[in-house]
Structure formats: structure tokens, C-alpha cells
Structure 1
Amino acid sequence: MTGVGLGTIAREWGRIGCIGFGGPPAHISLLRDLCVTRRKWLDEEEFEHGIAATNLLPGPASTQLAILCAWKLRGTAGALVGGFCFIVPGLVVILALAALFLAADPPAWVTGAAAGAGAAVPAVALHAAWGLVPGSWKRVVDRAARVRWVAYLVAGAVAAAVTGPWLVLVLLVAGLVEVSVHAPSSRRAWPVVVALPATGGGLLGVAWVAAKVGALSYGGGFVIIPLMQRDAVHTYGWMTDAQFLNAVALGQITPGPVVQTVAVVGFAAAGLVGGVLASVVAFAPSFAFVIFGGPRLERLRDNRKAQAFLTGAGAAAVGAIGGSTLPLALSLHEPWQFAVLAGAVAWLLVLRRGVVSALLTAGAVGALISLL
């Protein structure tokens, strides 16, 4: 531990939480600049090890990296302060926007902006999946592994596009198959699948959905989007498909991880209390992984079983993110939204421009159409 003051951690991590637009790449870049380049609290190798370790954990990897870096500086207190200050700015913004976008009678331009930004969300999901393919493919070492990788990818895509609740089971099975191949002598504990929805609604339902988001989002927040959509729209009826697309868009254009989408879902279900509860429950596993597992995280990246599990589950997660494009696209209703979607695909995959600019442009187009 370097003994960095908690006030310093609060200020610096809060600053990143305020300006961290652009998702994990932006968060990692800002943390690297702070901890390695400017303040030299961590060396480059230590920081890279942190990235590798948090990528092996379920949940929002960049948030876990922020918590881990603060933990390295001041232990548990640093992790709690740094993580809180990193998360809260985006949470405040997204809850304020949720109140505006989910109002009973929002202005026409707000409705139009939401519809426009929502129309671009399937393109964002496709872009996220495409960006993850190279890293997942690098884990493939032989012909048999390539066959399994393709099978995991397809299974994840089908689960996300069609089956919904079985997505988590697909992720777990893919990971466990790889563990059995690469570490056959290890004891295998088959985890309990918590993909099925809770029987109760209200705050209990919010907590259940948020727990799945925080504990099971292998490959980043987008992998849990299909399951979250099924729970929020079809199981509990808290939101319409269009409102859910708005929630995902808000999770992208605000600072912080896409997992913040669950705060909008919680707000739709139970107001401000539901939004805060959803965020607390969703991020609790990230704090627990670092605070209670911190001393072991350094060894996690060299653990054969962990690496094997990520190889399988990671490939299925990439497929799931790509497969989520279908139900998200089917949530669109207006003809002009499909034109916006096509434009967003071109913007992200052909022109290779940024996600935030795509969503903001799509929102502006929707607002203009609503005013005309």
C-alpha cells in the first residue's frame, strides 16, 4: 500500500467518474494516465496485471479495475472510497435522465430523442461484439479449440436472440467444458444457475435482476442485456421495449459502465429507491471480488482453470452480445428508426467512429423528427 490519502483518492476517482465517457477503453486510459503516468503510484506491469485479473471476473471490468487500483493504494477503505466516487457521478446523471425520459408526459423532443438514441442501440451491441472477437479468438490454440469456439459463439448468440433465461446456463456450460478440456483433473463444482426470474416483483424483483447483472455479466455489461430486457419488459412489465432501449442508450452516453442501465430499470420499477437499490446490488459483487479476493487476484491470471473458463464463457459472451442485436432491433417500431439504425451501423463499423457520438447524433435526429 502506498498510503495515498483518501481525500486524494476521492478527488481523482470522482474526476474520472465525471469525465469517463466512452466506456471501458476511456476508463482504462484515464486510470492508466493517473496511476501509472502522472502519479506513478503503480508501475506498468502491475497495472496490466490488474487489467488481466479483472477481465477474468464477471461484472463491469473497468469498474473493478478502478476499485482494484484504489485498493492497492489504501486497502479496503481506498477500494470503498474510490469505487463509490467512480460510480456515483454516472449514477446521479443517469437517474436524473431516467426521471426525464420515463416521465408520464415528457416533451415531444424528449420522446423523439429517446426513440432516436434507442434506434442506434442494436448497432452499439453489434459494434461491441465485433470489438471483442479478436481478444476472444486469441485464446484459441488449435483446430479442435477453434471448433469449440465457434460452437460457443453460436450457442451464445442463439441463447441471447431466442431463449433469454438460458443464456447464463450457456455461459457456464461453455466455461466448464473448457475447464474439463484444459484442467481435467480438477474438481468441478457445478454452480447453481440463477437465470430464472424471481417470483416476486417490487424491490425484491429489482434486487434479483440487479444481482444477476452484477454477478453474471461475463464479457461486460452488454452480455446481460437480453436477460435484463426479458425481466424488465416481459416478466415484470416495468418498461416497454422502447423504454428499455432508452435505458441502454442512457447507460452508454453517461459516464460509467453500461451496467448502469440497471439503475434505469430499477427507477422504472420503483422510482428513486428502486434505481439506487439496483445500482447498489449490481455493483456489490465488484467490491466483494476486490476487497475479499484482492490478495488472490494477482494469481488469478496465471490460473489454468480461470483462463480455461474465460476462454469458453468469453466466446459465448461475444456471441450473446452479437445475438442481443436481434431482440433489440425487433423492439423498434417506426420506419425512420430502422434508417437511423442503418446509419449507426455505418458510423460504427464502416467509418469506425465513437459510440457516444453515434448515440448523440441518433438522439438529435429523433428530436428533430419529433419537432417536424
Structure 2
Amino acid sequence: MAGATLTRSAVSPAPTAAPVPVTLREAIPVWARIASLSFGGPAGQIAVMHRILVDERRWISENRFLHALNFCTLLPGPEAQQLATYVGWLMHGTRGGIVAGGLFVLPGVIAIMALSWIYALYGNVGVVAGLFFGLKAAVLAIVAQAVLRIGRRALKSQAMIALAAASFVAIFLLDVPFPVIVLTAGAIGYVGGKAGLPQFRVGGGHGASGKVDTGPYLLGDDELLREHATLGQTLSVLAVWAALWLVPVALVLALVGPASVYGLIAVFFSKMAMVTFGGAYAVLAYVAQQAVEHYGWLRPGEMLDGLGLAETTPGPLIMVTQFVGFMAAFRNPGGLPPLLAGTLGGLLTTWVTFAPCFLWIFVGAPYVERLRGNRPLAGALSAITAAVVGVILNLAVWFALHTIFAEVRPVSVGPLRLDLPVLSSLDPWALLQAVAALIAVFRFRAGVVPTLIACSAAGVLLHLTGIVA
């Protein structure tokens, strides 16, 4: 756990010297950089982490990274933030996990809070709308790039490609729930892994030998945790993090009552934190329905505005819940100034949304690490990652439709259910911006930050010239 140390076994020597070990203090700027570049939803965030942690820094091997990602996709909550927490824990114990996971969220907390203030005070301000108009095109290109990047890494056999394709069809055309897709893929991978099929090995397929990746990495395939968690340690970690999560909820209920807006926020988003499989998009409809129709916290359409804020700021897309909590308390301030009430509501929402994420990682990661050599489990997790590629592709298509077209119409044909764009609602300037962003990213290999800056500037310019409203 916090005192866990790493040691290299004698599986095989690294072909070259491994990178110099880093201290937690030296790792902080790298985690801060990852956090500042974490745009574009889970696909883009995972791609950024992979590029920096695996390709640039050589802190963790390809297979080790994918193993951690496979586990995080099984958990409720934002998989990218949990992946950062997992890798931070691997490198520097509990303190490293808190730093990596906390920093991953911090820029989004600040950005969403600032934008929530602007939204509450000024609404759809023209220049801000132009900024978001441009940023959406950039995010679309970044997500498309990330889907391809993750797909190349994870889909290394025909079986994995087939699973990703089936996953996309299931969720895009058949509206199959995300948990069903995950469980089905996991069962298929478990059977394939138990049978020893190479297509279901981590990094396997196309004749892969299944050899370990010897590095050079700080955390290569042959790195093992010297100390595994005991039952007592697990129960201790569970008690500490459950208390950090639930004691504030109990205090809120005791001080202001369960019927207050803060009590409703604490209970509702705590329950949501336990069932948010599939990320922000998977729970968007449910949260929107509850926030608009049941609680009356948001007006129709404002949930999409909040999602737009989360899409165009660093951090997990589930940060949209902070916007919901802010607006709920802003409009029901009680005896507090509305902005102060909104700030407290947003921060409470963020706490009960993300505190459970650390609990899942710190309790589960030691056991998942112990099972890294388990073939059936490795096969199940690899198959789940392949299925998630299909789910992320579905999200990319969803986002593209809602970026380029002003209106999308649901259509049902027998068992098939899909959203079709209303062609007459095509926004030519949004399309042009998206194409330009795609060309910049794929043809000229523009980075995330330059693409975001260029597109946002173009959006503001289009607004100032009156071309877009």
C-alpha cells in the first residue's frame, strides 16, 4: 500500500539501461502537465497519458499500462482519472496516487467553477459562445485522433477488432447497455484466455509470442510489488476512504437536513458515483432527467451547455456534475448569497463524485496487480478494453453529430435504434472548423494545445464578424 516498494525480478534483462528513478516531487510537474492537457474526454485523456507515461517518460510499459486501463474500465467513475491514480500508486504508493489523481481533477474543478460563475451571471455571452464554438471543433479532432491511437494499441488481433466492432454496433445501433457489453466481452475474453488463445493475450495477436516487454521502463512487465495487501490492510484502507467519502455526506444531512439542496446533492451524486459505468455520456441522460424533471435544478437544454463546458476544459467529462451541483445550489441558495451557495454546491458535488474513485483504486489495485499473470483474467481485461474502444468510437460519432448538426432525430427500424442528423440543420461553419482541425491534427500533426488555441481563436473571430451567432 503506501509503503509498497518495487523490485525487478530476474525474468530477463533490459536491453538498455532503464530510465532514472524519479521521486514524487519530480513526478508532480509531469502529472500537472498531463492534467493541463487532458482535453477531449476519456479517449483523448488516455491517449495523452499513454504518450507521456509510456512513449516519452518510459515510466510504465505498454502491457502494464493496458492492464491498468483494463481494470479502470470496469470501475464506476472516470476511467482516465482512475488510471492516473493507479499509475501514481504504482510508482509512489498512496501518496503518489493521491497526487496523480488529485492533480488530474484540479484544473477541471477550477475551470468549471469559473465558467459556472460566468454562466450563472451572464448566460450565453456572445464571445464565450464563439469560444466554445471553436473549441468543439478542436475537441472533435482530438477525440478522433485518440480513438485511432488507442485502437492501434489495443486491437492487435482479429478477435479484438471483432469485439470492438461488435461493441460499436451493440451500443450505437441496438442501444445495448454498457454494463452488458462489458460483461459479455469479459466472458468471451476469459474463455479465450483460459484456452490459451494468443488473440486474447495482452499485446497478443498476429503471431505475437507473448513475451514480456523488457523495457527500458521504470515499471516494466517484470516489475512486481514486493508487498501485497493483507486482509487487514485492505479493511483499513476501505474504512479510511469510505469515511472520507461518507462522513461529509453524514455531516451535511445532520446540519441542513436531507430535504435541503445540499442534502439532495450529497445523496444523489453519492449514489451516482456507484453506478456511473461507462463515463459521463453513459449517465448524461439519467442525470439530465433527474436534474431537470425530478429536482428542477436545470432548465431544458442546460445540461448540454454544462456538457459543453466539460468538453472544452481539462479534466474528466464527469465534471459536468459540478456544473449541475453549482446551478442547483445557485437557484436554491437558502439564506446564502447565490454565488456562494453555488460554489459550495459545486464543490460538494465534486467531492462525492471523486472521493469514491480513490477508494476503488486503493482497495482493488493490489489484488489486480497480484493477478497480472493470470491468463483468464488477462484475457477478460484485454477483451473489455477492445469493447471499450468500440464504445469510445460511439461517443466520438455522437459528439460529431451534435457538433456539426444543430438537430438530430432518433429513428427506430425494428431492433435498430440510432440518431440520424437532420441534414437541413447542417452548420457549414462548424463542419469547416472540424475539417480544418482534423487536417491540422492528422496531416500536420499539430499538438493538442495549438489546435485548441487556433480553433478557439477562429470561433471568437467568427462571432466578432457576425458570421456565427
Fold shared, TM-score > 0.5 on shorter chain: yes
Residue segments in structure 2 that go unaligned for 5+ positions in a row: 7-20, 194-258, 330-341, 409-421
Q: Does 1:26 align with 2:26?
A: no
Q: Given that residues 167 and 387 in structure 2 are in contact (C-alpha distance below 8 angstroms), is that contact kept between their aligned partners in structure 1?
A: yes
Residues paired across the two proteins, number: 339
**Residues 175 and 137 of structure 1: CA distance in aligned 2, closer, same or farther (over 3 Å):** same
Q: Does 1:64 align with 2:86?
A: no
**Residues 248 and 131 of structure 1: CA distance in aligned 2, closer, same or farther (over 3 Å):** farther
Q: Distance in 2 between matches of 1:120 and 1:253?
A: 10
Q: Alignment partner for residue 318 of structure 1, among 376, 393, 396?
A: 393
Partner residue in 2 for 1:258: 317
Q: Tell me how far 1:95 sits from its aligned partner.
A: 0.9
Instruction: Kindly report which structure 2 residues correspond to 1:1-372, keeping only aligned pairs within 5 A, or say none.
Output: 1=5, 13-14=31-32, 16-18=34-36, 20=38, 23-24=44-45, 25-32=47-54, 36=57, 42=59, 44-45=60-61, 48-58=63-73, 59-104=77-122, 107-114=125-132, 116-117=133-134, 120=137, 123=140, 127=144, 131=148, 134-135=151-152, 138=155, 141-142=158-159, 146=162, 149-158=164-173, 170-183=177-190, 202-203=261-262, 204=264, 208=268, 212=272, 216-218=276-278, 221-222=280-281, 224-225=283-284, 227-232=286-291, 236-240=295-299, 243-270=302-329, 271-298=342-369, 299=371, 303=377, 304-312=379-387, 314-323=389-398, 325-326=400-401, 329-330=405-406, 338-352=427-441, 354=448, 356-357=452-453, 360-361=456-457, 363-365=459-461, 367-369=463-465
Higher Rg of the two aligned structures: 2
Q: Tell me how far 1:309 sits from its aligned partner.
A: 3.8
Q: For residue 177 of structure 2, what is the amino acid of its counterpart? A: V
Q: Tell me how far 1:103 sits from its aligned partner.
A: 2.0
Q: For residue 360 of structure 1, what is the amino acid of its counterpart? A: S
Q: Tell me how far 1:96 sits from its aligned partner.
A: 0.8
Q: Given that residues 130 and 456 in structure 2 are in contact (C-alpha distance below 8 angstroms), is that contact kept between their aligned partners in structure 1?
A: no
* TM-score computed with the length of structure 2 as normaliser: 0.57
* TM-score computed with the length of structure 1 as normaliser: 0.69
**Residues 308 and 65 of structure 1: CA distance in aligned 2, closer, same or farther (over 3 Å):** closer
Q: Tell me how far 1:291 sits from its aligned partner.
A: 0.9
Deviations 1:77-125 (A, max 9, x none): 33223322332233112211221133255654334444x2586489469
Q: Given that residues 269 and 352 in structure 2 are in contact (C-alpha distance below 8 angstroms), is that contact kept between their aligned partners in structure 1?
A: no
Q: Given that residues 171 and 313 in structure 1 are in contact (C-alpha distance below 8 angstroms), is that contact kept between their aligned partners in structure 2?
A: no
Residue segments in structure 1 that go unaligned for 5+ positions in a row: 160-166, 187-199
Q: For residue 306 of structure 1, what is the amino acid of its counterpart? A: L
**Residues 117 and 356 of structure 1: CA distance in aligned 2, closer, same or farther (over 3 Å):** same
SS at structure 1 position matched to 2:72 = coil
Q: Given that residues 310 and 316 in structure 2 are in contact (C-alpha distance below 8 angstroms), is that contact kept between their aligned partners in structure 1?
A: yes
